[in-house]
Structure 1
């Protein structure tokens, strides 16, 4: 019998009350409101490792959702990603209570300079013994741009041009500034670091000027596992150059298949192997011992679900709840003094809201399943084999109920089917966990072109 494709398994989280589970922080027994307590994160990490998860994947934003209703008030009332704390700072707490669990952290290339970030990530890679990955994002909220002194968002494709140069800088720091054997720790000679094995990077580009050298010695992975969330054309090209793990999605399975194929083709264009890139999708799973138990959980989730939270999260430019439901979308936009949308002007507002709820609803996403364990496992296997994904970021509707249910009911059956390993490999880095041949970037990755100081000018 041929080997089956294993499932890469992450828990999808964010350092806030309401990430993508609008209103569900109010569920009975939910611990989400304790996210500012370090115990929330240490318990979460222990539970995820006991369940055999590969990593906790931490999302982030650097602005408030303030488009809907013209301000942040709805997001604030809903706890929609505000208050929100730094994702990098909870990683050491989780790492110290686990031995194997990985941590994917989100950081934007659009607004903060690369030198300080490179140091922070190298520090995390040291402290976790190589168990971190970086989700490279370019930020999309208008408020985020204003928080960093800009009048409005940076144009989409230009954000990716900035990101490309950001990547070049951090690769130079991580891969090229220090030799592997630069730290000698010679007590007899009184030499900790051999200065002939450390270099300036002397980067001068359109967006960044960085002298170096990198302040941190080579960490277990040097460059953390490179993750990217994308489905856009510019993002696909960027992923083909840089990403080792792509977090993607789409309105249907066909669109996800197209994104996977496009990224693999882009990787080959950039001199890499198509198989070097793995793909994970956001997945919603509700399960339990019986069908009745599952149905009760789904009903409870739907009862606490917040329409306002989802409308604010979508940054909807008008408020459909403020109009009679027998109006059309065009009439509602006209009443608010906004431009008509030819594509939707004739839609009844009631139908448009229903369509929106279908498109964004908790149990209507492309990768969603509610059922007994055998139903869940069969659907996950179909995603792996028919759609071609490699793994999931499991949405945590209830903390820690979603995680505990998946660990108790689903993981054992995935193991029986050969889809999950029985345990961890001791000392394995994040890159090795997600399919890498070793702890470092593969030889054909663009970041490796700076290894050993190639392409750099000057030495300390």
Structure 2
């Protein structure tokens, strides 16, 4: 059977997300990100396009590495100001029926209990349409907000993340049995006490004892997204994640990354089809190729490659403003995003080259053309690399989403590579065509509580 393309919109609760500077375009509406109807309208638009989900990025901290200050970040709204993404979900869920929501939350600044409670609550309110993009952070500016000086060592952050998830799994999967709720008014039993169990966790980073406050939700555990690309990150992702978000400039690079994921999955005893792999992309499309090229040139006049460089600086933890335009940037070990930083070890890259790559202020692969051409390019990219879908970044919003839905989606559907209706069920059921819960051999299922831990002793 021909693989159908999975598709998420990739956005953030801010004006400037990935393609920087385009907030200045006269038709761009991203300055309205602090208005709820901006997001509810977007959710309805994406559901019209049968998008699988809205993947919402987030950061804790600010991009203050470039020029050792916030000037470019503030002037160009490089993810600043940005608001909490979880506040958006209930509103968008209320105006949609099928659209999923993948929310980024940095566990380094959370406690397992409170975060697990928020996700379980949203899983109930969305009727099982919530996912968690798990990140551990990469900004020293975030550490300072919490009274610390610098990030913890990279691999140590993943050790902590492993334990964080293991505690959450106990809450989501094992504290409440499926049939604990009775709602029996006559017997005056809302919940059967013998079917609610205490969690008792005593670990290196976290201690927790007690009953989870949220009953079992439609998915129990939210769909798990992750983007780790370092050795530690890859081990973490292939152990826990159901959807992995990767980068790559070329088909060859992405294909190699997919093969690496496959090898790690095999070591973890997991099959390739247990994980869906997404690549971030930018698309400029219109009815004809010429119209698309004209639109791209128009967008270029408003984009800010320098703002893209300011974003990049914080991603790698290096002030790129210190180098001349054509000076090769040396590799320097940092605790930031290793998959991006290591490029300086293997390639000769200058600030000028980075700005050229950031034509629209962003660094994801750029596709330009008519709807038919884009559809063919995406199909070719997916078939050659072995990925499962794309995270579509916005350019001028909401125009770019409407363009993709109007011109590209029908072409993908005509070729049998994109759904024509939603399947029933939760986000996990829609993506994997399986039960709403995680499979039995997933690590989340390996922490069953003893009967002696039931609430009633």
For the criterion TM > 0.5, the same-fold answer is: yes
| 8 Å contact from structure 2 (residues 313, 320) kept in 1 | no
| CA–CA separation in structure 2 for the residues paired with 1:7 and 1:354 | 35
The equivalent of 1:444 in structure 2 is: 441
Query: Residues 323-351 of structure 1, C-alpha deviation per residue, up to 9 Å, x if partnerless?
Result: 875x74589x9xxxxxxxxx79xx8xxx8
| 8 Å contact from structure 1 (residues 10, 394) kept in 2 | yes
The equivalent of 2:97 in structure 1 is: 99
| CA–CA separation in structure 2 for the residues paired with 1:188 and 1:457 | 28
Q: Any residues of structure 2 matched to 1:156-305 within 5 Å, and which?
A: 156-305=154-303
| CA–CA separation in structure 1 for the residues paired with 2:353 and 2:210 | 52
Structure 1 segments unaligned to the other structure (5+ residues): 334-342
The offset of 1:178, in angstroms, is 0.5
The equivalent of 2:61 in structure 1 is: 63
The offset of 1:366, in angstroms, is 6.0
| 8 Å contact from structure 1 (residues 5, 384) kept in 2 | no
The offset of 1:216, in angstroms, is 0.3
Query: Residues 62-117 of structure 1, C-alpha deviation per residue, up to 9 Å, x if partnerless?
Result: 10001111122321111111111011110111000001111100011212111000
What secondary structure sits across from 1:226 in the alignment?
strand
Query: Residues 184-223 of structure 1, C-alpha deviation per residue, up to 9 Å, x if partnerless?
Result: 1110111111111111111110000111311100000000
| 8 Å contact from structure 2 (residues 196, 454) kept in 1 | no
| 8 Å contact from structure 1 (residues 227, 245) kept in 2 | yes
What secondary structure sits across from 2:446 in the alignment?
helix
Query: Residues 277-333 of structure 1, C-alpha deviation per residue, up to 9 Å, x if partnerless?
Result: 11001011111012221112111111111133112101263454x8875x74589x9
| CA–CA separation in structure 2 for the residues paired with 1:49 and 1:232 | 34
Deviates more, 1:362-371 or 1:191-200: 362-371
| 8 Å contact from structure 2 (residues 303, 361) kept in 1 | no
| 8 Å contact from structure 1 (residues 31, 399) kept in 2 | yes
| CA–CA separation in structure 2 for the residues paired with 1:367 and 1:81 | 20
The offset of 1:176, in angstroms, is 0.5
The offset of 1:149, in angstroms, is 2.3
Change (3 A) 1:304 1:366: closer
The offset of 1:270, in angstroms, is 2.2
| 8 Å contact from structure 1 (residues 239, 267) kept in 2 | no
| CA–CA separation in structure 2 for the residues paired with 1:55 and 1:72 | 32
The equivalent of 1:397 in structure 2 is: 395
Q: Any residues of structure 2 matched to 1:1-80 within 5 Å, and which?
A: 3-80=1-78
**TM-score calculated relative to the size of structure 2:** 0.91
Change (3 A) 1:434 1:323: closer
